[in-house]
Structure 1
């Protein structure tokens, strides 16, 4: 999946999250999340807490424990 279009959002979100006091430490996770937003996809993950602060992200957890 192309990620080139996601880099602008990645940079904006990295700065926004840091200024909001909720920085995302894992750059790769942030890029994955931004890619899902740019491509209008639902991101399926059990790790909701690390992705929930990304703007406009749609998350689903398919694992119920």
Structure 2
């Protein structure tokens, strides 16, 4: 939530932007139940996460230790 607030985006957009920036993820699978959700997913494509955000998200997800 905090990272999203700082960037002006919601949790789903930040999570998708993180997945798109992660070289270990080939292709995130996105589903939308509304046009609003689809627009949010498309906005995530334009969201650029900085090094600090990526580091924090990697730590939060515990991705690197698996």
Task: Output the TM-score relative to the length of structure 2.
Answer: 0.35
Structure with greater strand percent: 1
Structure with greater helix percent: 2
